Amino acid sequence: PARLPPLPLSLCPLSPSSSLAMKTVLASRTISVPEGVEIEIKAREVTVKGPRGTLFKSFKHINMDLKKLVGEDGQVTIRLDVWFASRKQLACVRTIMSHIDNMFIGVTRGFMYKMRFVYSHFPINVAITGSTVEIRNFLGEKRVRKVQLCEGVEYVRSTSVKDQIELSGNDLSLVSLSAAKIQQATNIRKKDLRKFLDGIYVSEKGPIPEPEE
């Protein structure tokens, strides 16, 4: 008997692009709003206000339901619902809640990145002019490397630790981006990286520690 031709990939039941691919009916996750923090949600745009300032983030690129709920005890929670989500859409659920949690930490405590200078012979000189970080004498070069700090990021030269700078701010993405730009400004090219280890590297990062009582 004549054999039937194979099904097209788009109609195959095991194809991830077909309509028969397995989807989760409902994926939900909640997070509590800490005390002293106000949150406003409008059309998947989140505004968080706290003692340190205000942060805004838009999640319009993701299909989801984001709601602000108030319990009987007055506790405010945020609930995220994603209906009929594929595997990639499910991965966004925890990511968005992590973004919102980082906004809570940012407006209450803030984030700090500590960076250390590493050099074997030529000392690295770092200074700030306005909001521009200037790196001089890297590997003995005369060229001045300039890095523009992101908006809302504060630069402090550590007094207790030699050759260390501290970057702090409310928005984690802006603080980490500023640290990455400083580190990438001291990338070494066309040399053996196992031998030439000079640069400015992140040594410690996380929320600003609360003052000890």
Beta bridge partners of 112: 168, 206
pLDDT at 56: 97
pLDDT at 199: 97
CA distance 22 to 110: 41
Q: Choose between 5 and 139: higher pLDDT.
A: 139
Tens of pLDDT, residue by residue over 149-200, are 999 999 999 999 999 999 999 999 999 999 999 999 999 999 999 999 999 9
Tokens of 101: 């949690």
For residue 2, how many C-alpha atoms fall within 13 Å in the half-sphere facing its CB?
A: 2
pLDDT at 23: 86
Once rounded to an integer, what is the mean pLDDT over residues 92-112? 96
Burial of residue 28 (CB within 10 Å: 0-12, 13-18, 19+) is exposed
- What confidence tier does 18 reach under pLDDT thresholds 50, 70, 90? very low
Tens of pLDDT, residue by residue over 52-72, are 999 999 999 999 999 999 988
CA distance 86 to 17: 10
pLDDT at 65: 94
pLDDT at 8 over 90: no
Beta bridge partners of 1: none
Once rounded to an integer, what is the mean pLDDT over residues 129-140? 95
- Block residue for tokens 């550590």: 158
Burial of residue 126 (CB within 10 Å: 0-12, 13-18, 19+) is buried
pLDDT at 124 over 80: yes
Q: Residue 212, Cα to own-chain centre: how many angstroms?
A: 27
What single-letter DSSP state applies at residue 7?
P
H/E segment holding residue 105: helix 87-108
